[in-house]
Chain A
Amino acid sequence: MTDHWIIAEGLVKRFGNTMAVSGVDLKVRPGTVLGMLGPNGSGKTTTVRMLATLLKPDAGHAAVGGYDIRTQPHQVRQLIGLTGQYASVDEKLTGRENLVLIGRLLGLSRSMAKQRATELLAQFQLEDAAHKAAKAYSGGMRRRLDLAASLVGRPGILFLDEPTTGLDPRARLNLWTLIHELVRQGTTVLLTTQYLEEADHLADDIIVIDRGRVIASGTPDQLKARVGAQTLAVKAGREVDLPAIIELISELVSGAAEVEGLQVSAPAASPDLLPAVVRRLDAAGIVPAELMLRGPSLDDVFLSLTGRHAEADSDAETTREPPR
């Protein structure tokens, strides 16, 4: 029937004068995870809502599981699970009741619905809170319950809209593990995120979305290679040290240092860079306030793809370089 569980071509959605999505193409192969990476307001949620049949596209078409989202929405709904950006559980019901409710709506018998709820509560470490009202849940628990609620009908295709935004690192890792497990069992996933690290960790393929358009796509490694794998950042302890630090780093990375306040940063292409910087700083008698090596962020991706920062939306308009 099809090589892809999710295919979208030229999806467009307008809200009044806002072009929320202006021609998105994407494909997700069965059993893989596509990461949709983009800053706030770039059109991720709108795209997911169209694919999940919650919004009608203004133009373009898409098929999920081989069914047209426009003409066969009911079939699509039988195949998908959706975890929205904002946890959408009934706060007045307990975690268990929320899951039983979905099971009943999906046509499970009372006992089947209860059994499925028990399974999911165990799988998502919510057994202790099963009989508490969802409004008493922590952010991480609520996300897990929301994800569990999307899985009651064992959907083969899962939409996860920023599943870990706003979670602390431990809750995030925990959710990543759960998502990994689902994928290992064969679920096809479309995941949106603002974190390159998250897309890198979970996705087989990534598309980068900006202002409703796909501006880059590839595997995480391809994308990272384009960006420069890591960034070195040195923060001067005193302002007088700054010129020397800039000079020394520019020399080591041949020119590409960027200065922001007291911080000097540069792409760290080679693993030798950090020790080299430490030696040179030491030789010059400079003690930096901070010295670190970090992975590329969404902002770095944007800077390298579009020549502007991810968040600087309004005033970047004039200086914007054409996307590749």
Chain B
Amino acid sequence: MNAPEPSPLPAHVSLASGLQQTFTLAWRTLLQIRHNPWELGDFSIQPILFLLLFLFVFGGAIAGSTEDYLHFMLPGVIVMNMMFVTVYVGHGLNTDLTKGVFDRLRALPIARWAPLAGRILADLVKQAWSILLLLAVGFLLGFRLGTSISALLLMSLLVLTMALAVSWVMVLVGVISRDPEHVQLFGFTALFPITFVSNVFVPVDTMPGWLTLAVSLNPVSSLADASRGLLTGGPVLQPALWSLGWALAITVVFAPLSLRALNRRLGRS
């Protein structure tokens, strides 16, 4: 019963099986949340807290009224939260690497790319959930869509595209970090200045000149601008093109770097 059959075994995984395995691995990552519900808090309660805190503490001072500020800030908070949620890709990948789960998966006859693809796919699901949640809370607080449902969907797609690009950065962080705690440390340390030196919370024209340059070059600002345009009306094309350009550039630089680092870590350099 156990002998290898004389008929040759398949030499490759078909694309369809590879996709199936990717879905299974993404399902596994989402299943983890069921047993660790506090994780849900990290990308559900935290962004809502951020939203409420900034809205009621700064809203009056920055925009005159909380309602105006909500319309300015909600698209930006969606973008900011997207950046923070990408850390899960690195955190989860590093956990798999340090706990030996990645080896277990690599010793199975599955597509080589499925473990990584499954992680990233699961992350996109978390991202979509966060966007949905923030929009829902925003609407409850009095946010009004100034555009259309299709513009809203386009905004979500744009944010997810950037999430995909930034995931590659977090894959790199996940591969080079010693343990999951360091992933969080490196990830958040890098993300904090990038997300706050942007126009997520404060309009650019209130800042000193030297900061304006940094803020307007920041991909987070372009993406926040494009999202604002798509949700409340206003210019879209230019910031959207900048966002896509940034997403492409980040992917082109970090995808090969991450894969090389991963292969090196796996000892195949």
Q: Which A residues fall within an 8 A CB radius of B? A: 1, 5, 15, 30, 49, 52-56, 65-67, 72, 74-75, 77-80, 82, 84, 86-94, 97, 101-102, 104-107, 133, 149, 153-156, 185-188
Contact = CB atoms under 8 A, between A and B. Distances in A.
B109 interface: yes
Contact of B103 (A78, A88, A187): A88
B104 A84 contact: yes
A92 B36 contact: yes
Contacts of A149: 104
B15 interface: no
Contact of B2 (A92, A102, A154): A154
Contacts of B12: 74
B2 A186 contact: yes
A92 to B, nearest CB: 4
B209 interface: no
Contacts of A107: 17, 20
B35 A92 contact: yes
A90 B101 contact: yes
Contacts of B83: none
A185 B108 contact: no
A75 B266 CA distance: 20
B108 A84 contact: no
A89 B24 CA distance: 16
Q: At the interface, is chain A mostly helix, strand, loop or mixed?
A: loop
A214 B208 CA distance: 70
Question: Helix, strand, loop or mixed for chain B's interface?
Answer: loop
Contacts of B24: 101, 104-105
Interface of B: 1-4, 6, 8-13, 17, 20-21, 24-25, 28, 31-32, 35-36, 99-101, 103-110, 114, 266-268
A274 B1 CA distance: 49
A84 B32 contact: no
A93 B108 contact: no
A72 B103 contact: no
Given A74-B13, A75-B8, A106-B109, A54 B266 contact: yes
Most buried by A among B2, B11, B105, B266: B2
A74 B17 CA distance: 14
Nearest to B8: A75
Contacts of A154: 1-2
7 contacts: A74-B10, A74-B109, A78-B109, A88-B99, A94-B35, A106-B109, A153-B108
B110 A89 contact: no
**Closest 4 A-B residue pairs measured CB to CB?**
A88-B100, A156-B2, A77-B109, A92-B32
Given A54-B266, A105-B25, A105-B110, A133 B4 contact: no
Given A5-B4, A75-B8, A97-B31, 20 more contacts: A49-B267, A53-B107, A56-B267, A67-B4, A74-B11, A74-B13, A75-B11, A77-B107, A78-B10, A79-B9, A82-B107, A84-B100, A84-B103, A88-B103, A90-B28, A90-B101, A92-B32, A93-B32, A93-B35, A186-B2
B180 to A, nearest CB: 12
Contacts of A101: 24, 28
A147 B38 CA distance: 30
A90 B32 contact: yes
Contacts of B11: 72, 74-75
Contacts of A90: 28, 32, 99, 101
Contacts of A52: 107
A245 B13 CA distance: 68
B15 to A, nearest CB: 14
Given A84-B104, A101-B24, A55 B267 contact: yes
B187 to A, nearest CB: 19
Contacts of A80: 107
A52 to B, nearest CB: 5
A88 B109 contact: no
Contact of A106 (B36, B99, B108, B266): B108
B9 A67 contact: yes
A77 B108 contact: yes
Contacts of A91: 99
A49 B266 CA distance: 11
From B12, B21, B35, B107, name the one whose CB has the most chain A CB atoms within 10 angstroms: B107
Contacts of B20: 107
A250 to B, nearest CB: 49
A86 B4 contact: no
Nearest to A152: B108
B267 A105 contact: no
